[in-house]
Chains A and B, each alone.
Chain A
Amino acid sequence: MSTLAVVAVLVVSLATLGVGAIGLRISRTTSDFYVASRAVGPALNASAISGEYLSAASFLGVAGLVLLRGVDMLWYPVGWTAGYVLLLIFVAAPLRRSRAYTLPDFAEFRVESLVARRVSSALVVLIGVFYLVPQFQGAGLTLRALTGAPTWVGAVVVALVVLANVVSGGMRSITIAQAFQYWLKLLALLLPLAFMLAHWHRHGGPTGRLHTVDWVEPMQGAHAPYLVYSLILATFLGTMGLPHVAVRFYTNRDGRAARRTTVAVLAMLSAFYLLPTLYGVLGRVFASDLVTSGRSDIVVLELPRRIFDGTAGDLLTALLCAGAFAAFLSTSSGLVVSVGGVIGQDLLGRRFDGVTAFRLAGVLAALATLVLTLLSSGLAVAHAVELAFAVAASTFCPLLLLGIWWRGLTAAGAVAGMVVGGALSVTAVVSVMVGETPGGWAGAVFAQPALCTVPLAFATMVGVSLATRSRLPVHLGRTMVRLHAPEDLELDRGSYHPEAAHRPG
């Protein structure tokens, strides 16, 4: 058994490196590294965005949550998809038209403040870490579940592949690798599922556990309305503020292409998210002991062997293992690029040229994550991804929405709002991770902070902006032209260019 799984992991890792090497031949300039020179077509780009977005939380986590807690957990995949609708209608085209590379670039360009840039950079690193550590840990747990290897092995494998890929080719090489990984992940879930559903249909199974009221009916448990609506707010609004999602929009040709890409992403995510739910249901039928043993997170990997004996089960498990590693690798690559891009621009860009800074920063980001993963092995970080959405929704979401659609946003308002929203949501995330949460209502607020922190962040940003309304950005008029006017009009869009930010001199 374990040999097949190891072969699957090796094949995915090598294929990722191989596909990445195609990009290596064509990545030469700084802008190739950061944004693939913005010459990626909508179909390829949409596959790459979806491939990057579908992380361990989507591939393994959703099925586990559905197995454990039932229908209310379906809001996670729904929210992670609906987040792209909000991204589309408020952010996609203007963000592309701003021509910034990263969220800190956008902050600096819109409110014309280096402080706002620094605060955004810190938040990108923070959200990136909340998102990266669970990917590395997931890789460790997956390998341990399948082969009995210690958990650090999986984390090191992911770190090495991501490093090789990012350092060699930058954004161009990972665009192709991630597009490939979307289709691999879809196939890896679809094929075993088809076999297992056919088996269930023909031979039946113990369905008694499907009829438990608090599993099958929605809105169960204490504070359910608050928890569900807070989850909806975090996922719907958080997607637009994830650094690795935002950076992908700069690789579109223009604002129009950015919109069309987003619709394609929505279709691809919808197709994918139909599948994990069914794994959760099958898990309830064939592997319900995972709930009592607290291992519901590995239900996706466990199911084939419960249903099929011998080689068939091993082959399907190996395929799922390959898909899981594709999920760890693609999300980690995207995050290392965006976190590395920020470190490269803001910390190293003054001392090194663009490409060198990017490579150094990528190495730094991947190694730091590896160290953090090994240090945090005792903490409950598996669900940090879900909480990262709450942080993004409480910080970058108000910055993007108010920055694009409201002329009144000032630098002081943007900074104050991001600091308040960031401090409150990060407090909640950290206390959940170390397991120090209060009971009752306060516990619900800590578990799903968005419904409190998002309105507070918006209110702070608007309030402080109004109080400092005499200090609007100098180039506000041109900024608005650049964000909203279609590219085929010849207009003066101001002189801001992000390459100036990391090309000294």
Chain B
Amino acid sequence: MSDERPVRVRVTGPRTGHVRRASIASEIDAQSVVGEIYMRSLIRSQLKLALGVVLLLALSVGSLPLLFELSPAVRRAHLFGVPVPWLVLGLGVYPVLIALAWFYVRRAERNEAAFNDMVGGGRE
């Protein structure tokens, strides 16, 4: 199938890294306590990142109905002749969503790169 990559053979690089790669990957394969710890640390870092982004989403977009409900001034405010709630929900929310997504992707890939380095199958 198309997603099968050719086997990577490392021809240079410190020997210690090579030994470490074999041992941590095989710890994970053997589902040993050490392997579990590595997997759990990856999952925990990704989950923490995801929950952080959810918190940002809740505080920004998710708090808008509450803000509108509690503040008649915001509900009736105008900017450039357009009511602010229309401006925010019709336009302003979307760049925030894209920015949050982009932030998440960069951090998630960084977490995975760190995991790859630790287990040894680096990208370079």
A and B assemble together: yes
A260 and B89 within 8 A (CB): no
* Contact residues in B for A82 (Cβ distance below 8 Å): 57, 61, 93, 97
A490 to B93, CA, bound (A): 41
Knowing A71-B89, A93-B108, A270-B98 touch, does A78 contact B39 (C-beta < 8 A)?
Answer: no
* Contact residues in A for B85 (Cβ distance below 8 Å): 71, 217-218
B62 CB contact (under 8 Å) in A39, A81, A232, A489: A232
A274 CB contact (under 8 Å) in B49, B91, B121: B91
Instruction: Flag whether A69 is at the interface (Cβ < 8 A).
Output: no
A489 to B120, CA, bound (A): 8
Beta-carbon nearest neighbor of B123 in chain A: A488
- How far is the CB of A202 from the nearest CB of chain B, in Å? 17
A89 and B53 within 8 A (CB): yes
Knowing A85-B101, A263-B98, A491-B25 touch, does A37 contact B1 (C-beta < 8 A)?
Answer: yes
A81 and B94 within 8 A (CB): yes
User: B-facing mask of A354-371, CB < 8 A → 1, else 0?
Assistant: 000000000000000000
Main secondary structure of the interface of A (DSSP, over half): helix
A273 to B90, CA, bound (A): 8
- How many chain B residues have a CB neighbour from A under 8 Å? 53
Q: Which A251-301 residues sit within 8 Å CB-CB of chain B?
A: 253-254, 256, 259-260, 262-263, 266-267, 270, 273-274, 277
* Contact residues in A for B65 (Cβ distance below 8 Å): 75, 218-219, 225, 228-229, 232
A497 to B62, CA, bound (A): 39
Knowing A229-B65, A489-B116, A491-B29 touch, does A253 contact B83 (C-beta < 8 A)?
Answer: no
- How far is the CB of A166 from the nearest CB of chain B, in Å? 23
A253 and B54 within 8 A (CB): no
Segment of A101-109, A304-312, A478-486 in the binding face: A478-486
B86 and A71 within 8 A (CB): yes
Instruction: Flag whether A224 is at the interface (Cβ < 8 A).
Output: yes
Beta-carbon nearest neighbor of A224 in chain B: B69
Knowing A232-B62, A263-B98 touch, does A489 contact B25 (C-beta < 8 A)?
Answer: yes
A224 to B29, CA, bound (A): 53
Instruction: Flag whether A477 is at the interface (Cβ < 8 A).
Output: yes
Beta-carbon nearest neighbor of B65 in chain A: A228
Knowing A81-B94, A216-B83 touch, does A74 contact B101 (C-beta < 8 A)?
Answer: no
B104 and A89 within 8 A (CB): yes
* Contact residues in B for A229 (Cβ distance below 8 Å): 65
- How far is the CB of A486 from the nearest CB of chain B, in Å? 5
Instruction: Flag whether A487 is at the interface (Cβ < 8 A).
Output: yes
A84 to B93, CA, bound (A): 14
Instruction: Flag whether A90 is at the interface (Cβ < 8 A).
Output: yes
Instruction: Flag whether B37 is at the interface (Cβ < 8 A).
Output: no
User: A-facing mask of B17-29, CB < 8 A → 1, else 0?
Assistant: 0000000010011
A90 to B51, CA, bound (A): 9
A86 and B54 within 8 A (CB): yes
Q: List 14 A-B contacts (CB under 8 A).
A: A74-B86, A82-B57, A82-B97, A84-B101, A85-B57, A89-B104, A218-B65, A228-B65, A254-B3, A259-B105, A485-B42, A485-B115, A488-B8, A488-B121
A contact residues vs B (CB 8 Å cutoff): 31, 37-39, 71, 74-75, 78, 81-82, 84-86, 88-90, 93, 216-219, 224-225, 228-229, 232, 253-254, 256, 259-260, 262-263, 266-267, 270, 273-274, 277, 405, 477-478, 480-481, 484-492
Give me the 9 closest cross-chain CB pairs, A-B, nearest first. A270-B94, A74-B89, A89-B50, A218-B68, A492-B29, A477-B31, A218-B85, A277-B90, A228-B65
